Structure 1
């Protein structure tokens, strides 16, 4: 399980993931907040529907793609949490044709 290394004095924010309320610390990325809440499955691959989650945590691998406030293909590791944001798992590759 993931845990925060150091205590922080940043404020708290709340957002939803798949309809579930998640509490986070201001300044956390969506990926880190979700992992701290016990979520590791962020998206499904387009062909095999394999479950994927964060890998690099620095915006290189695209394994953490989610839908944020209705916008698909957002890298959870690169977006800071905001109060009231709505995050959903991404199903496949939105906007990419797969044969």
Structure 2
């Protein structure tokens, strides 16, 4: 049996997911923090708007894409969370402007 131990050396701080303040800790990925934040999904697909959650957690798939600090299409499983980060989950159908 595995038991997760709290590490007091890991600093706790806030990030913002879709405008809501969420607690995070040093060493966590953005995807891990997204999974804790209701509604516990990373994004909606751009065509059918199906909810998706991070799948591979190692950068092979693209189910964890989000906008992080203004940069779009970030694979959040590959990015370590930083204090004050602004994370936006994509919602709605993909719209292309010409």
Shared fold, TM over 0.5: yes
**CA RMSD in angstroms, aligned pairs only:** 2.3
Partner residue, 1:47: 47
Partner Cα distance (1:78, 1:93) in 2: 25
**CA 1:44–1:80: 2 relative to 1, 3 Å:** same
Deviation at 1:24?
0.7
* Cα drift, residue 44 of structure 1: 1.4
The runs of 5 or more residues in structure 1 that have no matched partner are: none
Q: What is the CA distance between 1:57 and its match in structure 2?
A: 0.8
Q: 1:53 to 1:34 in 2, by over 3 A?
A: same
1:33 maps to 2:33: yes
Unmatched 5+ residue regions in structure 2? none
TM-score for the superposition, normalised by structure 1: 0.81
Aligned to 2:60: 60
Normalising by structure 2, we get a TM-score of 0.81
